[in-house]
Amino acid sequence: MKKALSVIVLLLLAKIGFAQQGVFIPDGASVWLSGNSGVFSDLTNNGILGSNPSATLYFLSKKWTNGNAATLPDESADGRSGTGGKFLFMGQNPLYGNVGRQLVFGNYSLATKQGCSFPNLEINNSAGLLLDDFSDLKIRNNLHFTDGHIFLNGWNLLVGENNPGTITGYSDQRFVVNGAGVAGGALYRAGLTDAANKVVFPVGTTINNYSPAAILLDGAMDMFSVRAYDSVYSLAISGRAYPDSFVNKTWQITRAGSGGEATVILQHMDADELPAYTAARDSSYITRFTGGVWDQVPYLATLPKPGTLTTNGLATPATMHMRVFTGLGNNEYFAKTTLISKSKPAIFLSFEAYRIAPLMVQLDWTTSREVNNLLFEVERRYEREETFSRIATVPTKALNGNSSVPLSYTMQDLNDYDGWTYYRIKAVSRNGKEVYSEIRAVPPFVQIDVFPNPNNGKFKVRIRGIRGPLMMQLRDTWSQVMREYDVRQDNDLSVSDLPAGTYFMVLYHKDTQKVAYTCKVMVIP
């Protein structure tokens, strides 16, 4: 790098004038670059600043300005159809330190298709390159990202001269930032044809939100532009913002002409997915705003795939969709949605049912996500019944029926049934979609009575609410088994002729050998 910057060609040419705080190329002056050159101060070009393919100009200052008479020709006869040199914007100035975000006044008008244009431009500035006010920027051949972003600042960037040119080095860390609002600048690419194959538009709304698009054209040569903005509105650029079932992103695609089949590829960051969309992402697709509404596809021709619109890999998860259109108009809007009817109204994180009193059962459930949910129906089935019955409804806590955070619910059921009871929760969506929780079994209230106690060696044991085979043992204080009984479900046992002493009555589950109940029994003379 030091060797490259040691040759400062611009300072050696006689026709260059110097402003007090920068380099100035006046109208009528002609400067040609060959090899490596460097500019350490602001530059204003109002003359001819030509370059050969071997030239690299390192611009290391704050602002580059192209005046009304400025041109940046290449080695070709017309100054526009050749390769030209590379103009490299870097923020780290070896003389003055880091200059921060750089500015460029390209002095090109996309509306009139006139003005100055760079043959090739590279950005290597982590703070980025900002398009200055009242000017678009045009790059005829190659735009390369080494580090940083290009901020459109409400203006437009055109890449290509009678062809799409090339954009290289882009990823979710380096791309064109067009802003998050509905209105703003766009990335244009010229001369798309079917021979151009897939042409990528590496754009995003902010430096942390990469939302690129790509176009495959089957038709005549045309110029396209792409910009993305946050939210999806019922009328594309106005109306209410959809709170669910969409990716929080809209893509605007313009076309200079019309007609011819075109394939549109859109890629979003997974973090932009709204709750209903995530729950049904397998049925997601690109929707087009047409006829005043977002259209629906009758079937899914292609499934979503991991994002690949990058040249250097992706640091964050992304998803890509593709849809073929028989023709695209001059100004189109696209978004991503799902077949909402396939989404589950709730995803159950947990469901528990348990007895809290002889006559009361408590039900607790938590959802991890709710999508278009309306309410929950609590269903119950007694042991000797064949079907579940609805016993209560509980409204959703989710705002507008949608939530991507855990929500917890509690309900109590008056239940004195002496057998087992089975419960389940049914979530019901606003469009009638249903999903069930797991089934939970609740035993009757467990009650074991020994009476009388103390006694004279004759007493009864009443067992209620325990299911499954049990074993009851009476042990003395030395833990010797004095009596043993088999018990099946509810039972009434009579014990007699037990000598005076202190005993411990223990009930075991036969299957697991776990203790179900224990108590002390006193036999007195």
- At 142 the three-state DSSP class reads strand
- φ/ψ of residue 522, rounded to 5: -105, 120
What pLDDT was estimated at residue 18?
A: 37
Euclidean distance between CA atoms 449 and 253, whole angstroms: 79
Structure tokens at 131: 């398009």
Nearest partner of 435 among 337, 524, 361, 348, judged by Cα: 348
pLDDT averages per 10-residue partition of the chain, 525 residues: 35 37 91 95 97 97 97 97 98 89 98 97 98 97 98 98 96 98 96 88 98 90 95 93 87 87 95 83 90 80 86 94 91 88 81 89 94 93 94 94 90 90 93 88 84 94 81 90 87 91 90 82 92
Q: pTM higher than 0.85, yes or no?
A: no
Residues 6+ apart with CB under 8 A from 195: none
Euclidean distance between CA atoms 471 and 515, whole angstroms: 10
**Please, which residues bridge with residue 502 across strands?**
522
Domain boundaries, the chain: 1-161, 344-442, 447-523
What pLDDT was estimated at residue 1?
A: 33
Q: Which parts of 66-115 fold into alpha helices (H)?
A: none
What pLDDT was estimated at residue 321?
A: 96
Euclidean distance between CA atoms 254 and 268, whole angstroms: 19
Nearest partner of 466 among 431, 425, 424, 517, judged by Cα: 517
Which of the four CATH numbers 2.60.120.10, 3.20.20.70, 2.60.40.10, 1.10.10.10 does domain 344-442 have? 2.60.40.10
276 sits in which H/E element? helix 275-279
Q: Do domains 344-442 and 447-523 have the same CATH topology?
A: yes
First-to-last alpha carbon distance for the chain, in angstroms, is: 107
Give the sheet arrangement for strand 305-306, strand by strand.
199-201, 213-218, 261-269, 318-325, 305-306
Which superfamily, per CATH, for 447-523? Macroglobulin (MG2) domain (2.60.40.1930)
What pLDDT was estimated at residue 473?
A: 93
Euclidean distance between CA atoms 140 and 335, whole angstroms: 30
What pLDDT was estimated at residue 516?
A: 76
